[in-house]
A and B are shown apart, each in its own frame.
Chain A
């Protein structure tokens, strides 16, 4: 029987929701094809996540636990994933597309001589491999990519699939793992984290995103107030991360994060194609911009033409009223 394996990513001590989205989809296609659906979790506290994983229907959870995985480093992660692949021989190994995954996906494919399709928005099993759809050309075009191989790696954009619980009692397989410092190759000196309790943009139900129109502390305060009111993550256009107004990890777009929340509020963002590539899959888009011809209005469900400094205060007040 063939095996479909899903990698469960852990960041900040939590399971990435996007990994569970991928596992939910793997469970669906696994059940339909009769394949065994399994998961692998690699973390310093990997075993503590088994319970959260079996809710989504993995028949086996491969646990690779070692203190070395406290922070992301590619050499140990690559070694762990290669070992699990060699042990399990999955026909499909699926990942959520995160910066951590992107760091090792190509290397893992090369190491295991596997076919690989990165950053897809959907995939299915097909004759002799996997067929996937992926956005290309700055997300203006979708292509269909077919991988023919008995081992296919695939990474999936967040928000591509719904979560779907189907609780099982998973068999837990503890994977032997050890690594000498000499194998590390690189040294992680430090991590400069984005400030405090920011909400992970890939997981956020709502995102308030700031662009060039947000000019000063007053503008930032309005963004923060609206975000806190909606329990939303804060994002930014490249112009504002590059000029240091917002942390680089908050950049949304082709080169930053690709997001798909239920509600995306673009404030003072003109809507350059690179930005739209990162947010056009949001369910509902609201745009606030004083230029009525700004391209952001072409993708917005609700476009408010006006100065954000005049629009946001009553907008916030009205939402407060609705919420109370």
Chain B
């Protein structure tokens, strides 16, 4: 669950103020859910979703269940904790420690902070084979074949299961829940788990990084708009790029 980055945002005295506190399912997580559903439709198996968040995160969890996930675990936070990526990764790792799974799918980053750290942290804590920025997943027997968008091209990576993968939103278009899915989601189980029951040394959850303030990004000033006869304005701007902007 993340704040809706497309909702109006204000900054007051260095604090971020979100319009109506609109929270949504992180777009990258939605792609991970979608891909899990596609794989389970093809190969069988169950899709379970896990979310750390305050009570209102149950709405986000219902969205994933309405898309088609079978069950959910809600790891309860108060929303007042000052967690960073490392704290969340420790909580998730503690949760997964004694669970059985083939693949842990995660969003490659959260769309509000864009850090992209928690996925590989979880894999490291659990000593799992992993990869990041996946744009395609396929099973071959018990191997997961991941197409990863790398720096110079797409890497085809074979991972043994169990493994962890962080998902790009370029992987798929997450389905919009239909009415049947929404009705069905109300009957699906959500286990509630307290962080304190996961056997983590609470001191280790203390964040090493803290956001101390927010500020508006200095907005770019719109420059000049040229309208009129195509040939003339095209040549004019080309000239200005040479004489005025000096970038040719």
Contacts and interface: CB of A to CB of B under 8 A. Distances in A.
B234 A104 contact: no
B170 A318 contact: no
A103 B149 CA distance: 11
A224 B150 CA distance: 23
A191 B230 contact: no
Interface string A171-192: 0000000000000011111111
B42 interface: no
A230 B245 CA distance: 15
Interface string B11-32: 1000010000000000000000
B117 interface: yes
A304 B214 CA distance: 34
Nearest to B160: A185
Interface in A288-323: 292, 297-307, 310-315, 317-319, 322-323
A220 interface: no
Interface residues of A, number: 94
A301 to B, nearest CB: 4
B231 interface: yes
Contact of A189 (B149, B156, B237): B156
A104 B124 CA distance: 9
A254 B233 CA distance: 31
A98 B16 CA distance: 28
Interface residues of B, number: 77
A242 B89 contact: no
Given A137-B5, A145-B209, A302-B224, A99 B133 contact: yes
Interface stretch (A30-38, A55-63, A83-91, A113-121): A113-121
Given A135-B217, A145-B212, A314-B231, A118 B116 contact: yes
B151 A11 contact: yes
A117 B214 contact: no
Interface string B212-236: 1111110010111111001101110
Given A102-B132, A107-B120, A191 B238 contact: no
Interface stretch (A21-29, A45-53, A159-167, A278-286): A278-286
B176 interface: no
Contacts of A260: none
B114 interface: yes
B113 interface: yes
Given A145-B210, A145-B211, A137 B120 contact: no
B247 A284 contact: yes
B6 A138 contact: yes
A248 interface: yes
A11 to B, nearest CB: 5
B245 A301 contact: yes
A136 interface: yes
Interface string B154-180: 111111100100001110000000000
Contacts of A241: 170
A302 B248 contact: no
A179 B168 CA distance: 30
B241 interface: yes
A221 B42 CA distance: 40
B192 interface: no
Given A140-B9, A286-B241, A106 B222 contact: no
Interface string B113-134: 1111111110111000111110
A73 B151 CA distance: 12
A115 B208 contact: yes
B154 to A, nearest CB: 4
A102 B89 contact: no
Contact of A194 (B11, B153, B237): B153
7 cross-chain pairs, A with B, having the tightest CB-CB distances, nearest first = A115-B208, A106-B117, A301-B223, A185-B129, A193-B153, A318-B238, A106-B120
25 contacts: A74-B131, A74-B132, A103-B150, A106-B89, A106-B116, A107-B123, A107-B130, A116-B117, A117-B209, A140-B217, A142-B215, A142-B216, A145-B211, A146-B211, A188-B156, A192-B153, A241-B170, A248-B170, A280-B220, A283-B247, A284-B247, A299-B220, A300-B225, A304-B225, A315-B234
Interface of A: 11-12, 71-75, 78, 98-100, 102-111, 114-119, 131, 135-149, 185-194, 206, 230, 238, 241-242, 248-249, 251, 254-255, 262-263, 273, 280, 283-286, 292, 297-307, 310-315, 317-319, 322-323
Interface of B: 3, 5-6, 9, 11, 16, 85-86, 89, 111-121, 123-125, 129-133, 135, 145, 149-160, 163, 168-170, 208-217, 220, 222-227, 230-231, 233-235, 237-242, 245, 247-248
